[in-house]
Amino acid sequence: MLPLRKIIAEMDAYIPGFQPPDALSWIKLNTNENPYPPSPRVREAILAELGDDGETLRKYPDPQSQAGRDAAAKLYGFDPSWVIMANGSDELINNLIRAFAGEGEEVAYVAPSYSYYATLAKIQGAQVRTFGFAADWTLADFPHRYQGKLFFLTSPNAPLGVTFDNAYIKELAGCCSGILVVDEAYADFSADNALPLVRECDNVVITRTLSKSYSLAGMRLGLAIARPEIIAALDKIRDHYNVDRLAQAAVVAALHDQPYFNSCVTKVCATRERFSAGLQKIGYGVIPSSGNYVFALPPDKDGKRVYDALFSRKILVRHFSDPLLSHGLRITIGTDEEMERTLAALAEIG
C-alpha cells in the first residue's frame, strides 16, 4: 500500500472530456473548444518569441507574466495590480481553494456546474457543498448568511448555459461571508459579465479563460480579476513560473487582436442561435444559452442513447451521468457546417 493521504486514496479523479487521438476524423463537440483557429497574430508572436533557434527557451519566463497582466488590465479597465495570469483558469480555481479554504472548511458551488471544483476542494481536505437551481433559475435555498470560505458561481452556467444577472450576483456576494468566485469561462459569449462587481463588492473574484473564446485551450491560459489584496495572496502561492514563455507571448497577441476575437465570438453566437432553433424544429428541448454550447434535451429524455448514436456517427458530444444532467447532452457550438451535420444526425436518430 502506498502511504497516500487517506483523502487521495479514496477520491476519484476528475474525468475531462475525451480527446480522441484521431481528432480530425470526428466532429468534436465535447469540450467547448472554439471551432476557429486563434488570431494569426498569436502564431506570429509565438514564432517571434521562439526566435530562429529556440534560444529564448533556455531562460525562464517572466515570473509575473507582466505583459499579459498589462494587456488584460487595459482591456478590462483595471489597474494591473487587479490582474493575475495563470496556466489555465483551472490553476486559479485550485489556488483560490488553497488560499481560502483550509482542511475541514467549506467550499460550495452550484449543481449542476463544473464538478472539478469538488475534486480540487477535496484534495485540500475541504468540505464540499452544492446549491441547486430553483424553477426561476435563481439558487434554491441559498442562505442569507453563507459561512463557507468560497462559493463558485459559474456564469454563464456550464453545462446549462444560463447567466446570472449582476443584481442577483451582488445579492449573493452580500450573503457570502467568504469569497464569491464568478467563473466566467464563457462570459465572452454572453451579453453580460460581472466585471463591475469586482469594484463594488470586496469579496468578488472573476476568473476567465482564453481556452474557449480565444481558441487557446492548447496554450493553457487563464486570468483572474480581483482586488489587489486577493491578487497578492494568489501570487504568493502560485508556481513562480506558472505561465511559460510561449503562452505569455500568445496571451498578449490574443488580447490585442480584438477585431479577430470579436468576429469569432460573433460567428459562434450566430451559429448557436441557428442550432438552437434547429433543435427545437426537430422536437428537442433546448435551454437558451449564453455560452458556446447548448444543453439539448432529446424527446425521450435519454441523453445516453443519443450520445451513443452520435458517437457511432463519429460526432462527439458530452453526456454527464450525473442524474441532474443525464437526460440531456451538452453540445459545443462548432462551425455552421458541423452543426448542420449534427442536426441532420439528430433528426435521423430522433
φ, ψ dihedrals at 107, nearest 5°: -125, 135
State the minimum distance, in angstroms, from the CB of residue 89 to ligand PLP: 4
Question: In the set 49, 90, 105, 188, which binds ligand PLP (CB under 6 A)?
Answer: 90
* Cell output for 318: 458530452
* Binding flag, residue 333, ligand PLP (CB under 6 A): no
Closer Cβ to ligand PLP, 278 or 334, answer by number: 334
* Region for 51 from its dihedrals, namely left if φ exceeds 0, alpha if ψ lies in -120 to 50, beta otherwise: left
Residue from 78, 82, 109, 114 touching ligand PLP (CB under 6 A): that is 114
Nearer to ligand PLP, 204 or 343 (CB): 204
Nearest CA-CA partner of 311 in 349, 274, 279, 285: 349
Give the separation between CA 47 and CA 188, rounded to whole angstroms.
Answer: 27
* Alpha-carbon distances of 181 from 21, 202, 209, 305, rounded to whole Å: 34, 11, 14, 35
User: How many C-beta neighbours within 10 Å does residue 26 have?
Assistant: 15
Minimum separation from the CB atom of position 291 to ligand PLP (A): 8
Contact 295, 161 (CB under 8 A): yes
If binding is defined by CB under 6 A, does position 307 make contact with ligand PLP? no
- Measured CA to CA, the distance from residue 64 to residue 85 in angstroms comes to 8
184 binds ligand PLP (CB under 6 A): no
Q: Does 216 bind ligand PLP (CB under 6 A)?
A: no
* 213 forms part of the interface with ligand PLP (CB under 6 A): no
- Window of 20-28, 88-96, 246-254, 333-341 that interacts with ligand PLP by CB under 6 A: 88-96
250 interacts with ligand PLP by CB under 6 A: no
* Cβ-based neighbour number of residue 80 at 10 Å: 18
Strand pairing class (150-154; 179-183): parallel
Query: Does the footprint of ligand PLP cover residue 289 (CB under 6 A)?
Result: no
What minimum distance in Å lies between the beta carbon of 227 and ligand PLP? 21
Q: From the centroid of its chain, how far is CA 303?
A: 22
| 231, 72 Cβ separation under 8 angstroms | no
Whole-Å CA distances, 83 to 60, 121, 224, 228: 21, 23, 6, 8
Contact between 94 and ligand PLP by CB under 6 A: the answer reads no
Interacting span for ligand PLP (CB under 6 A) from 20-28, 56-64, 86-94, 122-130: 86-94
**Shortest gap between Cβ of 238 and ligand PLP (angstroms)?**
14
Asked if residue 112 binds ligand PLP (CB under 6 A), the reply is no
Instruction: Determine if 193 is a binding residue for ligand PLP (CB under 6 A).
Output: no
Helix (H) or strand (E) holding 187: none
Please, what is the minimum distance in Å from the beta carbon of residue 153 to ligand PLP?
A: 10
User: Is residue 65 a contact residue for ligand PLP (CB under 6 A)?
Assistant: no
Mask: binding to ligand PLP, 126-155, rule CB under 6 A, as x and -?
Answer: ----------------------------x-
Quick check: 150 and 172 in contact, CB under 8 A? no
Query: Taking CB under 6 A as the criterion, which residues in 23-42 touch ligand PLP?
Result: 32
| Residue from 118, 120, 172, 185 binding ligand PLP (CB under 6 A) | 185
Backbone angles phi, psi at 308, to 5 degrees: -65, -40
Amino acid, single-letter form, for residue 84? I
Q: Which residues bind ligand PLP (CB under 6 A)?
A: 32, 88-90, 114, 154, 158, 183, 185, 209, 211, 217, 222
